[in-house]
Amino acid sequence: MSQEAIRRALEDVLEEMGVTGVEVRLDQPKDSTHGDLASNLALTLASTLGLPPRTIAEEIATRLKGREVTIEGVEVAGAGFLNFRLSTDEIASLLTDIIEAEEHYGKSDEGHGESIMVEFVSANPTGPLHLGHGRQGSIGDAIASLLEWTGWMV
């Protein structure tokens, strides 16, 4: 998946820069004009490297160019944010994967079949039922379904 490829490329760049053991986070920007993915990595490294975040971001962006990564471009924004725009081919590939996976898209084995208990509301047999019982019941059921979808035995 493209997000993992970008994360690995960033980890490689950091290793070249002598930085190890840093968690690389990629987030979806709130404003789509800022790209498809964004990272505040340079901001978090500023105190460690003793350099301005924007300088770090520019160095990372320069080192990413020419690598086999599924991005169309990297932009340094503001104080040192890295904004990534996925290539059209990568987006088409992701959509193809989604269509081919059909109803199994997104399913994982994150829980490795381990047991987990989800405790949620049950109606009080001695009191009146109200809307909150239904709301909490549906939320609990949704949480249990999501956990099952990701490989947990609920």
Q: For residue 120, what pLDDT is reported?
A: 79
Sequence ranges of the domains in the chain? 2-90, 107-149
How far apart (Å, rounded) are the C-alpha atoms in residues 115 and 47?
A: 41
Domain at 2-90: CATH code: 3.30.1360.70
Instruction: Quote the percentage of the chain above a pLDDT of 70.
Output: 99
Whether pLDDT at 3 is above 90: no
| Predicted TM-score (pTM) of this structure | 0.69
Please compute the mean of the pLDDT values over residues 97-102 and round it to a whole number.
Answer: 93
> Which pLDDT band, with edges at 50, 70 and 90, does 50 fall under?
very high
Per-residue pLDDT tens for 24-47?
999 999 999 999 999 999 999 999
Q: Which of 81, 71, 9 is nearest to 38 (CA)?
A: 81
Reported as a single tens digit per residue, the pLDDT across 116-154 is 999 877 777 787 878 877 788 889 999 999 999 999 999
- Distance CA(130)–CA(133), nearest Å, equals 6
Judge contact between 64 and 7, C-beta under 8 A: no
